[in-house]
Amino acid sequence: ARKCILSGLWKNELGSNMTISAVNTDGGFTGLYHTAVTATDKHIRVSPLKGSQKPTNQRKQLTFGFTVSWTFSNSMTVFVGQCFMDDKGKETLKTMWLLREEVSSPGDDWKATRVGTNIFTRIK
Ligand SMILES: O=C1N[C@H]2[C@H](CS[C@H]2CCCCC(=O)c2ccc3ccc4cccc5ccc2c3c45)N1
């Protein structure tokens, strides 16, 4: 059966897109993330991502995680999820994410993390 491959171009339901480079032998990958939305009034630029996946030789519907370090800021998002493939070979990445924004004091730590879900599909 065909297996999910993370490398390539993906988009999510927010209109964001990401490019994932080739996955290396230990499951590591890098890429670029272009978010369509932001919780800050700063101008958001394309940001680097780094992640890893379970080696595909063991899984058709692999699990993965990656981190986006938002350019020119001290905020970060981690995504974790799984690739699902339908019987036509169409891949879907179902993910959950945590967005950590920088806050000025420990007293504000309680409000520093947002959580959500994203579904990614391939851009042909
Ligand atoms: O495709 C998707 N897009 C959204 C979801 C999960 S990630 C999220 C986009 C996050 C963009 C970075 C951001 O908002 C951001 C960037 C820089 C910031 C600098 C300083 C901040 C200070 C206070 C609050 C912030 C909130 C978000 C921030 C930043 C700050 N999926």
Mutate to test the pocket of ligand 1, among 41, 70, 105, 123 (most ligand atoms within 8 A of CB): 70
**ipTM score of complex:** 0.93
Tokens of 8: 């390539």
Whether residue 46 has its Cβ less than 6 Å from ligand 1: no
Q: Which atom of ligand 1 is nearest to the CA of 16?
A: 1
The pTM (predicted TM-score) of the whole model is 0.94
Report whether 84 contacts 92 (CB < 8 A): yes
For 98, list phi and psi in degrees, rounded to 5: -125, 125
For residues 113 and 98, is the Cβ–Cβ distance under 8 A? yes
Mean pLDDT for back-to-back runs of 10 residues, the chain (124 residues): 87 98 92 95 91 77 95 94 93 97 96 98 92
Ligand 1 centroid, distance to 73 Cα (angstroms): 9
